[in-house]
Structure 1
Amino acid sequence: MIICHCHAVNDRQIKEAVANGIDTVRGLNRELQVGNTCGQCLPHVRRVLEQTLMQIAEPSAKKVA
């Protein structure tokens, strides 16, 4: 699904960037230019970022428990 229409960035690209170590909206902004133009995508970018970070953290939390 397209998240940033101004730069044609989809959710898979954001998830891939997070998997490669980007963990902030500012980092996604630098890497993918999301939010650089109109900013309407930023709430969606934050949601995808937070969901992806939680998914990455879940397996680690299960190993500790």
Structure 2
Amino acid sequence: MCICKSISDTQIREAVDQGARTIGDISARFGVGVECGKCLDDIRQLLDACVVAPPSPVTSHCSTAPVEVTPPRATEPAPQRAAWFAVDL
């Protein structure tokens, strides 16, 4: 799930089993999303799948079925703008 922090989907599922419910919970626990942020959409999908499922007394309420990962969207580069601030080095 998060390449920057080497966090797997299994670790996120375990965190959900232990009470994590939001991206903020996962970020506070593992530090995901602070480097590049590319993992946040996939983690949000996994959280949605895990948290929505009702808990079962026998098995974890978070399915171990693979989550469909959407490919990154092609983005256009941001237009060049003049800086509105000055940096004093």
**Offset at 1:18?**
0.6
How high is the sequence identity, in percent, across the aligned residues? 32
| Higher RCO (C-alpha under 8 Å, 6+ residues apart) | 1
Higher strand share: 1
Q: Runs of 4+ in structure 1 displaced over 3 angstroms?
A: none
Number of the residue aligned with 2:42: 44
Mapped partners of 2:49, 2:26: distance in 1: 14
The number of equivalent residue pairs is: 57
**Alignment of structure 1 residues 22-61 onto 2, 5 Å:** 22-55=20-53, 57=54, 59=56
Structure 1, unmatched stretches of 5+, are: 60-65
Q: Compute the TM-score of the two structures, normalised by the length of structure 2.
A: 0.59
- Which of 1 and 2 has greater Rg? 2
Mapped partners of 1:22, 1:58: distance in 2: 14
Number of the residue aligned with 1:8: 6
RMSD (Å), alpha carbons:
1.5
Mapped partners of 1:44, 1:53: distance in 2: 14
Mapped partners of 1:44, 1:25: distance in 2: 11
Structure 2, unmatched stretches of 5+, are: 57-89
Mapped partners of 1:47, 1:15: distance in 2: 12
